[in-house]
Amino acid sequence: MDWCTPMEFFKELDAEFHFTLDAAATPKSAKCSKYFTVEDNALEQDWGGHAVFINPPYGRTLGKWVEKAYREGQKANTTVVLLIPARTDTTYFHKYILGKAEIRFLRGRLKFTDENGMAKDAAPFPSLVAIYRGRDGGV
């Protein structure tokens, strides 16, 4: 549930969005110089004004993360790019992603890594990227 985003995949997104905040990280796994950790609790932080990358923990609180990404992603001068499993039967997908975000379903399965960048087997689930471009078009 705390596996890291494959660096090559992140770099492709970063080239497009120029992220300024990794909203769910550890000091070692952070993809941006500004990041929130579990101690900061990103769910209670203001993400406004940033180009945010977020690969949240895939546990029971995932719905709360998707709602938070949606809400922060409505702010002015803010872009939120959310990487999650493509579970299209979930309430959070229908409530906060479908018809509200730009959705990119990934072809194939990501190979998430540990904090040292060591890849595991391909994920046993498909992934999607949901993009919220603020109420004014984003950062």
Residues that bind ligand SAM (CB under 6 A): 2-5, 22, 24-26, 29, 31, 36-38, 40-43, 55-57
Would you say 27 or 137 has its CB closer to ligand SAM?
27
Q: Which residues lie below 8 Å from residue 19, measured CB to CB, with a gap of 6+?
A: 13, 31, 32, 50, 51, 52, 53, 81
Sheet holding 127-132, edge to edge: 21-22, 51-54, 79-85, 127-132, 102-105
Tell the smallest beta-carbon distance from residue 107 to ligand SAM (Å). 20
* Residue number, 39 or 137, with CB nearest to ligand SAM: 39
Pick 5 or 127: Cβ nearer ligand SAM: 5
Distance CA(120)–CA(6), nearest Å, equals 10
Minimum gap (Å) between residue 64 Cβ and ligand SAM = 9
